[in-house]
Amino acid sequence: MIRERLSNDLKEAIKAQESTRVSTLRLILAAVKDRDIAARSEDTTDGVPDTEILAILGKMIKQRQESARIYEEAGRLDLAEQEVAETDVIRAYLPRQMSGAEIEAAVGAVIAETGASSVRDMGKVMGLLKTRYAGKMDFGVAGAAVKSAFR
């Protein structure tokens, strides 16, 4: 379970006095806890599932990549390097990302499975891709692959 791995790695990072890793892991755990609180109900006491944690991690990576780009444009290389270091820590908890060819194959399989015939069916295709490949696929690339499949 990702949550347990994050907690254990935080303890190890604290012992090893790895400040960047400690702060990044604390940010991740805080984001997961926020999502747990938002999703809390009588039925769910375990917290959000790993698929949702993977989505949180993906979102955190995108935020840091955008921040690093903005910092570089502003000439703040020290802050850009910090964002890149945090991205590296977060990326260690994501599964291996699919290659372009693997994404195209998955898109083709989902289109065939859903019977999608036009761009109007893109939402159905993307929804199924996000369910099956959360954290493994760049959905920007997948969206482009779905659009090109209908041309």
- Model confidence over 105-115: pLDDT tens digits? 999 899 999 88
Low-confidence residues in the chain, pLDDT < 50: none
How confident is the model at residue 44, as a pLDDT?
A: 58
The answer to whether the CB of 87 falls within 8 A of the CB of 62 is no
Nearest by Cα to 58 from 134, 151, 150: 134
How confident is the model at residue 45, as a pLDDT?
A: 62
The angle subtended at Cα 140 by Cα 85 and Cα 67, nearest 5°, is 30
How confident is the model at residue 95, as a pLDDT?
A: 84
Q: For 31-40, what is each residue's pLDDT tens digit? A: 999 988 887 7
Distance CA 6, CA 104 (A): 32
Domains of the chain as residue ranges with CATH: 2-91 (1.10.1510.10), 100-149 (1.10.10.410)
The pTM of the whole model exceeds 0.75: no
How confident is the model at residue 94, as a pLDDT?
A: 87
